[in-house]
Chain A
Amino acid sequence: MKHRAWFAAALLAAATATQAQAPIRIGTFLAVTGPAAFLGDPEQKTLELYVEKLNAAGGVLGRQLQLVAYDSAGDAEKARTFAKRLIEQDKVDLIVGGSTTGETMAVVPLIEQAGMPFISLAGAVVIVEPVKKWVFKTPHSDRQACQRIFVDMKARGTTRIALISGAGGFDKSMRAQCLGVAKDHGIEIVADESYGAGDTDMTAQLTKIKNTLGVQAVLNAGFGQGPAIVTKNYRQLSIGAPLYQSHGVASKQYIQLAGGAADGVRLPAAALLVAETLLDSDPQKKVVLGYKRDYEARFKSDVSTFGGHAWDGLMLAVEALKKAGSTDKARVRDALESVRGFMGTAGVFNYSPTDHVGLDVSGFRMLEIRKGDWTLAR
């Protein structure tokens, strides 16, 4: 009788002990391979690196973090399948992922139905507009990119521009946003071309733009290898007007692919890319420089803002977990929504019930590519 009691007590103690040690499961699905690989690859590397660092420092809430990662290859269907798996089979506590807008939007209905806190790493504003209860995002939205670009154009006296965009979710969304906010900034869009997802030659569309009268600048809304080809074709056709890209090309891979043609291209991007040249008094410098050094030391390759978005997502998730004091999904969500003044690589985050982007335009710097490297545009 006594033995049985001891035995039962020992089992109970063991059970509660393992319960306390159960790791916090963070799920992610990223486009590590495929056309959006230069988004997903640094995102995955960043998440792995920082989960490791956080665990080495004792974990969160006394528990270790466990990353459950899947490669969606930029395919919205696969993203849905993996998200379902994360929610139903892997039973993760929250999800930080979704490299592209298409993948994120495909997953949103599942997220809302399951009541899973989800921090997306994709760009388009439709992800958070209208505000969805469980969906947050870390990159600047495409509308903010349009606004930042238009502000820069207006400052340089440019008023008539041409737009060229691809077929993906982010491309179409940014195009719609730019068409929508152009008038507010005094910009007139006189040409609007598009290319297909796997297109390898955009000279036809650019030729039409070249022959449109009065075009003072060209804006390419897209990410992946499409903008790299547009950039190469742009130089081939010797179009003199300045070329603007979105923050979807904020990776050295874009410069590698486009080669010398990328010189002179302007884009809005996080200060992360020019971390060393920031003034010491810049409030962003500490965070971006720290992340840049960690990432480059470990992976021996240049940082991109996409890895930065993943850092922001993970650290915001950790912040929310700490604030909530548990992994209860509703509490974590509420904690996330109440985050204020959090310094990320993209800027200061201030989430609220009406704002699940959190960033304002101040974190967005205008960069110019010169001699194959990022510089602050003059």
Chain B
Amino acid sequence: MSAQFLQFLLAGLTVGAIYALVALGFSIIYNASHVINFAQGEFVMIGGMCTVWLANAGWPLPLAIAAAVLLAALLGLALAKLAVEPARGASVVTLIIITIGASILLRGLATIVWDKKYHALKPFSGEMPIHIGGATLLPQSLWVLGVTLVVVLLLSWFFGRTLLGKALLATSHNRLAAQLVGISVRRVLLVAFGLSAALGAVAGILIAPITFTSWDVGVMLGLKGFAAAVLGGMGSGPGAVVGGLALGIIEAMGAGYLSSAYKDALAFVIILAVLFFMPSGLLGQRSADRV
């Protein structure tokens, strides 16, 4: 019984780490602009597909990964500069719809530049399963967990210790005050998008050897990352991580102990439950409006 539980837990943590990275992307952009970027899932897809494409073309894997993350970051910057910035004064709903349009565009571009087939990326360090207490773990899962941990630590250093990171945080707390202090909120927006896109790409590359990658993996991953961000509290960094891991584990346990057929439904049931009972999520700040 406990070996089974451990197996589900490990599977849940692996996929939860990916959700956490995607959720972090959502939170960073939400902080910088109160926009929910529904193209986030597409950056995940671009990371995986671009790496597969370059690796198949003969590039060494680390170089392919770096190039894919860079491409995603550039696309994120392009999205901010060309689609979000010109619509600066528009309502939040309009901006969200713009990001949905961008996601459809990116998916279409992916089918033209690449193809519509499923692709497998070679695991970073082999496929020999590791046996732990009756359960098995792929080496790739260790990569996922390890890199996610490193990324989370780097982000907390970035936001806590660097001027640019603090500028991002300041903008999220009070936009007007940040502008008055001399922070260029336009630059903050660009950095936020670029950073989130890079995070999404990293998630896509890490998970591609385990699940396959194709032009439309971004849809589900983006939505589940969004569910994780909502669960943890939209806009909260630690919330995104907690929400991601929690969602991954809930999904794995649900598939294992309840019904495997309704695994996807769990994420969306969670969104509904959170929005009904706890709209600010687990670790989010309760917002108050002055009347």
Contacts and interface: CB of A to CB of B under 8 A. Distances in A.
Nearest to A167: B261
A208 B261 CA distance: 14
Nearest to A207: B7
Interface string B8-51: 10010001000000000000000000000000000000000000
A38 B138 CA distance: 27
A236 B211 contact: no
A41 to B, nearest CB: 8
B260 interface: yes
B146 interface: no
Interface residues of A, number: 37
Nearest to B14: A201
Q: How large is the interface on B (under 10, 10 to 19, 20 to 34, 35 or more residues)?
A: 20 to 34
Interface string A26-57: 00000001110110010000000000000000
Contact of B256 (A35, A37, A207, A237): A207
Given A228-B212, A236-B127, A257-B212, A204 B260 contact: yes
A350 interface: no
A229 B212 contact: yes
A205 B256 CA distance: 7
B136 interface: yes
Interface in B125-148: 127, 129, 131, 136, 138
A211 B264 contact: no
Given A205-B255, A211-B4, A229-B211, A37 B117 contact: yes
A196 B3 CA distance: 24
Given A194-B260, A261-B127, A201 B210 contact: yes
B225 to A, nearest CB: 14
A238 B127 contact: no
Interface of B is mostly: helix
B256 A204 contact: yes
A228 B214 CA distance: 14
B263 interface: yes
B149 interface: no
B252 interface: yes
Contacts of A198: 220, 264
Contacts of B120: 228, 256-257, 259
B15 A201 contact: yes
Interface string B103-124: 0000000010000111010000
A214 B7 CA distance: 20
A207 B99 CA distance: 39
A26 B263 CA distance: 42
A188 interface: no
Contacts, number: 87
Interface string A255-274: 01101110000000000000
A73 B117 CA distance: 11
Contacts of A304: none
A220 to B, nearest CB: 14
B211 A238 contact: no
B22 to A, nearest CB: 14
Nearest to B259: A194
A228 B117 CA distance: 13
B8 A225 contact: no
Contacts of B4: 207-208, 211
Nearest to B11: A203
A238 B134 CA distance: 11
A77 interface: no
Given A33-B116, A237-B129, A237-B136, A193 B212 contact: no
A204 to B, nearest CB: 4
A196 to B, nearest CB: 6
B247 to A, nearest CB: 14
A328 interface: no
Nearest to B111: A33
A234 to B, nearest CB: 11
Given A34-B116, A38-B117, A207-B7, A199 B212 contact: no
A256 B120 CA distance: 8
Interface in A168-206: 193-196, 198-205
A196 B264 contact: yes
Contacts of B116: 33-34, 37, 73
20 contacts: A37-B116, A37-B117, A194-B261, A195-B261, A198-B220, A200-B210, A200-B212, A203-B7, A207-B7, A207-B8, A225-B212, A228-B120, A228-B212, A235-B129, A236-B136, A237-B7, A238-B136, A256-B120, A259-B127, A261-B127
Given A167-B261, A204-B252, 17 more contacts: A33-B111, A34-B116, A35-B118, A37-B117, A73-B116, A194-B261, A195-B260, A195-B261, A196-B263, A204-B8, A204-B256, A204-B260, A205-B255, A207-B7, A208-B4, A257-B120, A259-B120
Closest 3 CB pairs of A and B: A200-B211, A33-B116, A204-B256
